[in-house]
Amino acid sequence: MARRTKIYEGKAKILYEGPEPGTLVQYFKDDATAFNAEKKDIIDGKGVLNNRLSEFFMNGLNEIGVPTHFLKRINMREQLIRNCEIIPLEVIVRNFAAGTICKRLGLEEGMRLPRPIVEYCYKDDALGDPLVTEEHIAAFGWATQQDMDDILSLALRVNDFLSGLMLGVGIRLVDFKIEIGRVYDGDFQHLLVADEISPDSCRLWDIETGQKLDKDVFRRDLGSLTDAYTEVAQRLGVLAKNSPAASKPTLIS
């Protein structure tokens, strides 16, 4: 059996060379990490759920004309994506106060923010992905002013799309992180939503109960992470209501 070429391995995913030029295969691992990988575990089935959920969100975005790197799902853990140059920023959109903004600004968790707030962090694990301003981004050449205008517009469109989708199934989109890639088409280049969109990179709270249905379940030891992600997938119709958490192979007698 021929070994395929691994391009990159991150905390939650592996990228392999794709079948055609300009494509990659994105493999979703079961590894969960938090607090800059100080807390780690293997959560059986997480990769399968995130693959399906990210497919669902990216397909929806493609459908409404927000470009993404997603081409198609290949199997339970892998999807075919466009190869793009990742802009070294985490783009965070916040609708309600939670996580680091609470610590930074002394806000009460759950407070509705006056409007969606977009923040940028420099992608560097060794530095703990520090918050940066547009001044840093321009000065260090991580993105141009035109890129930043496009990134802001993409981030807000993703926010409107995901907020509405979640609201429809009784979930509040508190905040999320996306990454942006650059692709070249001849003389032109454009930006697209890359990486993944899943409960690993969003905060999702049940609107009625406030129950957390995202990676904070792992960060704060609040119960089963796969149960939380399965709940999100079932409410969105990505998994059938009575399907068990996607991980374990079921013996057919």
Binding site residues, ligand 5GP, CB under 6 A = 90, 92, 98-100, 129, 175-177, 200-203, 215
> Would you say 18 or 199 has its CB closer to ligand 5GP?
199
- The answer for residues whose C-beta is within 8 angstroms of residue 248's C-beta and 6 or more apart is 44, 45
Q: CA-CA distances (angstroms) from residue 68 to 12, 27, 86?
A: 19, 17, 12
The answer to whether 52 and 77 are in contact (CB under 8 A) is: no
Shortest reach from residue 39's CB to ligand 5GP, in Å: 13
Shortest reach from residue 125's CB to ligand 5GP, in Å: 8
Q: What b-and-e string marks burial along 92-120, b requiring 16 or more CB atoms within 10 Å of the CB?
A: bbbbbbbeebeeeeeeeeeeeeeebeebb
Shortest reach from residue 55's CB to ligand 5GP, in Å: 17
> Would you say 32 or 84 has its CB closer to ligand 5GP?
32
> Would you say 20 or 108 has its CB closer to ligand 5GP?
108
Shortest reach from residue 105's CB to ligand 5GP, in Å: 11
Q: Which residue has the tokens 């079932």?
A: 234
> Would you say 19 or 130 has its CB closer to ligand 5GP?
130
Shortest reach from residue 144's CB to ligand 5GP, in Å: 23
DSSP secondary structure string for all residues of 162-213: HHHHHHTTTEEEEEEEEEEEEEEETTEEEEEEES--STTSEEEEETTT--B-
> Would you say 191 or 205 has its CB closer to ligand 5GP?
205
> Would you say 46 or 73 has its CB closer to ligand 5GP?
46
User: Shortest Cβ contact with ligand 5GP: which residue?
Assistant: 99
Query: What residues form DSSP beta bridges with 82?
Result: 23
Count of helices and strands (H, E) across the chain: 6, 14
The answer to whether 11 and 37 are in contact (CB under 8 A) is: yes
Structure tokens at 205: 């709270």
Shortest reach from residue 100's CB to ligand 5GP, in Å: 4
